[in-house]
Structure 1
Amino acid sequence: MPTYEALAVEIERVTTSPYPTQLRTLRHLVLHCIDADVSQWAAAKPCQISTLASCLLEALPQWSYVLDIITKFAFNATCRDAFLHQEPTLLHSVVAQTVKGGDLRSKYAKASVALLSTPLPATIALPADAQTLFVNFVENAARSPSAATIEPVYLILHGTGSLLLGILSSHVLAKFEEHLLDILRSVSGTSALSLYCLSIMNTVCCAMDPEFRLTNSSYDTQDFLASTPASSRWKSEAMQQFFTGSKAQRSTQLVVLLVLWATKTETSDSCDDRTKALILSLEVLSAIPADLRKIWCTGNPMLVRKLQERLCSEELASAHKTLALRFIGMLCELDSLPHPVVESLEATFLEATSMQAVHTLCPHVDHGELLSSILVRAPISMLLESAVDVATRAESAGLAASLEAVTTTIAEAQVVIGSQKIVIHQIRELLGSEEFVARLETLSNLLSQPISRSESTSSAGWCEKALSRARCKLAHQISNLLLRASHAAAVGAQAMTVLLDLHASSARGDLSCSHDRHSWRDGPTFGEDHGDQSEHDDIDWREALQTHFKARAQVEQDAVTRLFAKACANLEARCEGVERPLREEQRRCKAAEEQNAELVQAFAELETRYADLTLQNRTLEEDRKQHFKDLGECQESLDAAERRDEETLKRVSQLEKQLREAHEDGTRQIAELNKGKQIVEVKGAARLAQKQEQLEDARDELAAMKTRYDNEAVRASDLEQNLAVVQIELDQAKQDLTTSISSAQRQQLNMERIELEVQQLKSSNAVLEEQLAATSRNDAAKMQEMSELRDELQACQAKLDRIRSEAARETEDLQHELEQKRQEADRLAKQYSEDTERLQEQISGLHQDLLQTKESLSADIKSRDAKVADCKKRLERYHKKCEQKDQQIAEAESMRANLMAAMGISGTQNRASLPHRSRESMAPALVDASNIEHSFASNASDESKSGPTPKRPRARKSLSFAAPTSIATRQSVGRQALQGISGNRPSLKAKTRSEETQKDVDVEEDGSTFEGSELFSGTQEQHLVDLQVAFDAES
């Protein structure tokens, strides 16, 4: 407050000085004051704003430090508008100087940011260099992200967001969005940088809303002139995700954490940084929908409770507490908040200081929804009574400064009361109160009082004109709210009359004051009688000189203005006809460009298709070459296969021998495996029985240990009971000792009383001895009495000694007994602790033994399980080997059959090469003619289908069956020569003979044995079945 008073005094000195004066003192005060002081001065002395602006603009060419003063005052919208009204080129020149210099930390850059921090008036256009300045600030923030570098971007967008974003190209906006997302990802710790980024995103999203309309300055850009339905505007979908999309919960989490940081009392961070964090948090939270806030509160109750505890702290600054209360009111539902927090939140809408703090720090945040929730709980009568009290007693600086804030709150309440019937009922009860009506009447009389020009400054330091204007605005809002509510409620005639009088008094025009000083920059109006010159002796010579030159320049300016207006009208009329063909040509050019783009796209598609076809052709050519190569390889492999067939015929006999040996080895191995399996099963059963016996023994030991543990527990409980009995005896001994001590004290008192009696007796004896000495000569009876008294005194002394000795003896006995009781109690406590420790050690030992036994048993079981699993795996492996052997045998059998069929060799002929058991089977059996004919017929049909095979006829010609002479007749019976048999006609032999011969051969085969070669005598399926049965029998 002293800073504000010094600032007001210095401004008063500067504005009332008739000559230009130094401004260094004002600069020093301005740099050390806060924005709230400047805002309070602008509200208190609005009539001096224009004069101060004239003084500062006049001194700016002479002293460059004046730009710092202008920068500080430019953050206030009223002062900034006064600067631009008196010097319209100030904004353009400062921005151009900043862009030209390129230093974003210069005083010109700070002045540019201050002038652009609030919305521009309708008569001031946005400078063209503002785009370059904004882009430079964004690039600087991207290079070195911090709160200091991002704050200018936030301030510029906060003031000129809709204008500036409307003229930036889509490429620049996309780059700007990319920088913001990069900065937000790189933020760490409790920094306000993330809040600045989120607030900037909110501003961009609001400016890019579908309901957003371009301003007049947007029509000057080439992007807008060239825009067509095909080239849509840039959209801020990625930024919108932080408020209404998938990232809204993360934004809420971040904002709440930063509010918790800002409300810490034991922190070294500056108060201004925490205030900015709270303001930005309110801005960001207001952009997140209420349902998403509710979802976050449901999922994060710990953070909400921690924030509520912070708000109950008494050490928190008042402004921070007010902003944090508004924040938690917007974050949570009021029903879920504690009662103290709700009461404090209601006070922020009822107390003038709280409303003034919120209005000064964050006037752009909408609190209407929160106020509507508050009015459901707190009666609106409290708000209206507080507002009337502030309007009536606005004599102090604090109350006068809060007039505008209270007016804003009443205006917001007027918007939300329409949907609440209980509020209408409360207003009707309030208007029925005579006290409130009397206060309204007092306010109306106060507004109706005339103000003399001699008292243009109030006791609060405010201009009476500004104070009256603020008071009238507040009274007008109060009367407007009450009159609107009185339509739905019955109001008395007296209350209605007071309301109408108050409404009329608050709607009067502005008053005049003595602070108005005519600026020398505004020339006087000619033709008016200004009276005697003596009335204007105090006019500055600069003002008179300015008036003289401005009068002549005004006439020339009017003439030039008329001339240029006429020329512009002619040019507009001519341009309408000139621009029409230009626009048509632009439309045709646009259509041609679109057609060209389509052709380019079609050509690109054709090129792509040609490239694909070329690639496909090359692939096919490579495939064709590869196929030729594969065909050559196939031919070579075919020749190699024919060679392998010849080699295979040679290896058939070797394979048969190897297969027989493999069969014998497999049978022997299976027998050995079965024997080993039986041995392993026997050993496993023995080990399992042994382990089960060990497990039973361990269980018995565990049961015994549990029994011992129970016995020890019973013993411990007995010891505890004994200890309790000893404790009771100890307490009884203590009570006895206390009784003995009290009796000893009583005896001590008796001894003292007896000693006192003895002293009295001694004194009386001394008196008597004196009397006896005086009367010894004539009174012998008194001598006898004295001797009796002397005897009585000795008896009393003996009695006293006896009582003392008895008391000392009893005291010693009691002390000795107490010492014994104490020793016994210590011994019992020590024994109890030792027994307890010993039992605990035994229990822990038993537990360890039990765990070791369990671990050993579990390890043995696991090892046995592992061995059993290993045996199972080995058995399965042996089974697989057997199956592989069987499969190899089956494959060999199939190969043998195929080779024999391909060679035209009968099974009887093949068997002749095997060893036989008797000499009866040495003669080869006769071949069935039907089988031979069927074989040759199949060969002939195959040959007719697949063409001749040069190798097979060669093999058949080379075959010669030389029969012994002794059995030649038998072999030739029933069959013909190979060259005499036709493959296309049936045999000429009678079937009866061949069937009989076949029967004879079958009989011979049934009566013979093959010494283990039965594997090759039967069919493949029968052999596999026999093997399976044998394996099952062995297993």
Structure 2
Amino acid sequence: MLLSRPPVQGLYDTLQTHSIESWVRYKPCQVGLMADVLVDALPRSRVAVPLIAAFASAPAVRDALLERHPTILDQFLEKAVNGESEYDSACIAFFASPLPEGFVPPARIATLISRLVSVMVADPCMDSVTPIHALITGLKGSPQVLNDVPSEIMSGLQLEFTKTLRNLDDHMGNLLCLSTFAQITTARLTEQHQHGSERQWLLNIKQFFGPKRGIKTLDLVVLRAILACSSSCNLGPQDAAASIRLAIDISDAIEPAQKQAWIASNSAKVTKLCEKAAKDGLDPGIQKMAVCFLHALLPEQSLSSQLRGLGLRTLFSKDTNETLELISPRLITRLAKSLATTGELATREVMAFVLGTFKNSQWQDGDAISALTLAQLILTGLQELDPETLNFNLSSSMSSIRQVVGEAVESFPRKPNEDQCKELAMCNSQLCIMQNQLFLSLLGLYNTSSTQFTGDIIMKTFMARVVQSLPDIRCAFSTRKPIGNRERLSLPDTRNLSSTHIDRDWRAGFTNAFMQNAQAQHDNMMRKIEETCFDLERRCDDVEGPLRIVEEERDRYALEVQHLREQNEQMVKELLEKTDEVEAARRMSSEHLTESSHEHTRLEQLLQDQYAHRDELMASVDALRMSLNEQKHESEKALLTERDTTRSKELELMATLTGKDDQIEELQEELSDIKSRNEETVQSLALMESDFTDSLERARLLHGQKDDRITELLDLTAQKTREIEDLLEQDRNMQGLCDSLNETLDRKAEEHEEQRVALEQSQTKLRGDIERLNREAANEASRASNEVCFIFPYVAIQTSSRSMLTIPQIAKLHAERERLQSAMQATALNASKDAQVKDKRIHNLERKVQALRDERAAKAREFSEAQQHIGRLMGVMGFSANAPESTKHQRTRSSPFDSPVAKSPRLIGEEKDGACRPSSPAPHRRGNRKSLRSEPIHASPAASPESPRDTILSGRRPLAETGGNGSANRVPSGGWKSSQVDAVPSTPTPASFEENHLRGLNLGMDLEFSKDFQFSGTAFTGSDGQAEEQ
């Protein structure tokens, strides 16, 4: 009789046929205690490390181990790095899924990755790549750890994985390498080092999923998925399903644009994969993963009805445990979201499953927790939909949701009947927790989809309060304290022991001493028993190992015999049924025997023909086989050539790697320079801090000065307010002056029009005079020529009749002819010069008129802006009584013939100057500004007090005194130029006034503002001066 094996060894044997994930779902209350038991068994059992490796593959157990024993992962990594390979599997199991948030990974991960890469380089295959893939997958949620891994290690990883990808015969190796690259790509790593240089290895990895190689990568992945679904695949069902799972991870990392381009150009491959996935007889695990891959790859709009049906069957299979084990929660959520997006029909079926699961969970059958977990994942996928799409697709299911939620409200929240699950197959507390969570999810989905509560903040607040007020349902197992450890990882601190206390109760002291002695003996006895059990366990493993192997073979053979016996009985039953069918067929065949004899003769003849055709096909097959062998030989030669080319490229890459090492050395030198500059920066920062302290002191002094300045500005503001009131009064006075100046400008415009008409008439008369002079010159030339003609015949006649003319007479005749010609040319030249002068005067007048119009428009804008600014200042200072009046004035000069006159308080000074010097010339303006011109008004200095208008007009020079171009020129000596003195008389006469009025009509009325009160306006920039220069 065999000895009973210890519990740990029995647990290890049980794990070979049962799933840990299923146990975690049904018994989460035992996870923490199981973690303590496994850690407690480490020093006493050889199977403790394999057990931890097996249980750590479940995220819940792994999280419990890290929470209760935070140093266990670091200690395992230390053992693995030091060469103890039995800890490798346990370390890899800890990274089989992403680490929990807030957990800081140990620093030895980089060393472990380097060691695993070296192992993979020595033997590149699926077994050596799988640990690296698991490590990168676990570190995906901690990108900082991957950033801290040295670039040499990651560069070596990228290089070796790229070499592995070239071996297309390694099915799983290629997918594992690409999946590892996909995990690195989606881990949000930084593309640059701390010193600014780019991570070339990361850029090379991202090329597999970008525009350069993304389409090729997706094509390879789809082909691998098709091969996994094919009957010719040499992988087992679990490996084939795992390969499709890797293909999903790879396709998720490819850029969407590349994915769409591949789908558009490879519809045949997509169709082929759909046919393979829908094929009857395919392994359920492979079929489910293929359906998930298609739903993840294709857009929701392009999914066929067959794919939707396969997706529904994949989610709602009878064995929910199998579905949860084969498909990860992330893929279940994505599949539910994809199905719900396709339309209202699929959404209704999904909701029917969820509602049915919720209603049936109250019977507490064996698969209740698995079904509730699946329903919760499906609801999570539905809640990720767009609100409009979700509301539309759930419209037909709202009544069912309302009914189920209404019935469940009465029993919410559900509580377990017993505090401890004891020997039950599942934990009642966990069942109640999941039922409550699913009810809250259904209620939230109903509130979101209902038009009555859409966006209602009250319902959202109520739901949050309901979640917070849920009772804390905990099983008794989860509340138990950890099992006591006699060999703890950390010893107790003796410094915390309290001082010795003398107890006067001697009887109790003896009792405690006896109890302590008994406890010590009990502990010694238990330690001996544990050592004995450990020895028995070792003996069972070492001595009775072969016997246990034989027993296992015997059990396996017994199961096979039982299975064969059942198959034999089933085949006997089928044989009896077939015998009856054969008897009935024999009776029927006897009736058709005669007919079949003739048919048999015909078929024999046909068979002979087929034999002849077969011989011909065999000959063609032999020829094809020979050609195939030749092609195979040629392909082998091409393969050798390609290998040589690959080797040369590898040598080139090694040379490039050497160059990169040199660059790294240069970068290190630059890093040292940067450090020195950093120290200098720190010193300068200290100096800047001292300067900043001084600046703060100065700022305090300036703050005090600012307060004094503010007080002065307030006083100055009051003074300016009084000045504004005075200026407003002056503005009203200037308004009347502007009106009078507008009238004067209109009158001058009319006079200019009359003078333009007179000029046109004089121009017409001048053209007539020129034509007359031309005609007279022509007549004179013709008369002179006639005279010459008459002279020459007369000379000829006189010469023939008498003697020839003398030389002086001939010279006199030539001089007379030249005089006549020069007189004719001078007359024509004078006429043309007069015409040019008059044309030039006409053009000058036209330019001056246009300049006056532009100046008037500019002055109008300037005056309007000044009035608006005055109105705003009045509004700010509280004076709004004259606002209608200023608006009225602004509207008065909206006519295009009004004169733009800028108002300024400087006219007060000009009035004083005009009163003192009425006959003196107008003062010179600064820059190119023109002086104000007006009609000649003679006023006596001794006259009675004048009005502001008369005062301003008296300070202006008449047009007759402004010179030929209408501008007062600056002369250093204070006098006029000689040419201007000759052209302009000192006393204005009517004739000279008209002439000067035509020559230099300039009605610019630019009034300068005072320095204390100046508005923003556009000054006239000397358009008249430009006209004069022309």
Q: TM class, shorter-chain normalised? A: 0.3 to 0.5
Q: Which protein has the larger Cα radius of gyration, Structure 1 or Structure 2? A: 1
TM-score (norm 2): 0.43
Instruction: From the two aligned structures, give the one with the greater helix fraction.
Output: 1
TM-score (norm 1): 0.43
